[in-house]
Amino acid sequence: ILILAIESSCDETAAAVVKNGRIVLSNVISSQIALHTLYGGVVPEIASRKHIEKINQVIKEALKEADVTLEEIDAIGVTYGPGLVGALLVGVAEAKAISYAAKKPLVGVHHIEGHISANFIEHKDLEPPFLCLIVSGGHTHLVIVKDYGKYEIIGRTHDDAAGEAFDKVARAIGLGYPGGPKVDKLAREGNKYAISFPRANIADSPYDFSFSGVKSAVLNHLNSCEMKKEEINRADIAASFQEAVVDALVTKTMTAAKDLKLSKVAMAGGVAANSALREAMGAECAKRGITLYYPSPIFCTDNAAMIGAAAYYEFINGTRHGLDLNAVPNLKIGQR
Ligand code: ATP
Ligand code: MG
Ligand code: FE
């Protein structure tokens, strides 16, 4: 089964050809990061316009790189939510047009289910059930992947997403957008024990997260350094902030894995590319005999290969969308 997958939920215009859900024949990503950097974050209107400019070229490249024709494709997979409505609409409209013109079935995919499915690409042995920690720019969830396409959310953030916290702290210490990879890099030069930032625990919700407190603590630290005219050590702040976030993510994930007796843990989303998180989660999983899975960095951040992986399992489970498929900016996990 060959899926042509399209992703345009945020600031990456992406298309991929994926075989049987796990073999990536092509993975083309046109990133708008350089453009949005000028504004310190994603500007929705600019993102939509850029998607329109790029999408045809990106799809053509994906087919060419995979060396397949549109006729050989079995289905079109497309992200239809969650995300920026104007950005999503570009991919959805394109997918519908191709589906109609080429007479191919259409399969709408949930962006976060795509992030989770990125794990299937490089881990041919990974099969549900497993626990998945989703840490992306807009979401932080603990999910039980019960079966392909079957999810149960057991934990979520009460405020900022992990990636959002990275981006906001990066901005505060002058690293610019997108902050995650820059904090990751700078933290390697700092002392993670230099400053003790808070780890929020939510009463009666052991699997829930909160990152606004640690973000505020970083801002307070910066203010107090300025007031006292103390020197600001950005590397120490980056390392200590990252340690607080990683500690919370690892602790809650390990608690859930233990409580639910799950011996496989996966990570997904942009922050799953974080080197300190990979290392700490790896060490804790090893201690407990848990097998840890995470995608290569290129499959952690937004891409269409992950959408192709998710679309494949939806397709073989019988999911089909009509030409009335619309963008759903607040689409829920598991919603069809
Ligand atoms: P969502 O998937 O929730 O809609 P998104 O698509 O914008 O949001 P992703 O593409 O999954 O998010 O990931 C982008 C986020 O990952 C950004 O917040 C970015 O700062 C963060 N990120 C990327 N690499 C790293 C890293 N090495 N360390 C920490 N954070 C990172
Ligand atoms: Mg992005
Ligand atoms: Fe994403």
Measured CA to CA, the distance from residue 38 to residue 109 in angstroms comes to: 31
Position 201 pLDDT exceeds 90: no
The backbone torsions φ and ψ at residue 143, rounded to the nearest 5 degrees and listed phi first, read -130, 140
Q: Mind listing the pLDDT tens digit for each residue in 126-172?
A: 999 999 999 999 999 999 999 999 999 999 999 999 999 999 999 99
Summarize pLDDT for 5-46 with one digit per residue, the tens: 999 999 999 999 999 999 999 999 999 988 998 888 899 999
CA 270 to ligand 2 center in whole angstroms = 8
- The amino acid present at 256, given as its one-letter code, is A
Q: Which residues are documented as binding site? A: 111, 115, 134-138, 167, 180, 184, 274, 302
Quick one: pLDDT at residue 87? 98
Q: What is the pLDDT of residues 274-305, one digit of tens each?
A: 999 999 999 999 999 999 999 999 999 999 99
Binding residues for Fe cation: 111, 115, 302
Which pLDDT value is given to residue 41?
Answer: 86
Residue closest by Cα to atom 23 of ligand 1:
270
- 186 Cβ closer than 6 Å to some ligand 1 atom: no
Give the tokens for residue 298: 């290129």
Average pLDDT of the chain?
A: 97
Phi (first) and psi of residue 154, to 5 degrees: -110, -15
Do β-strands 23-31 and 75-81 pair in parallel, antiparallel, or remain unpaired? unpaired
Q: What is the rounded distance in angstroms from the CA atom of residue 109 to the CA atom of residue 307?
A: 7
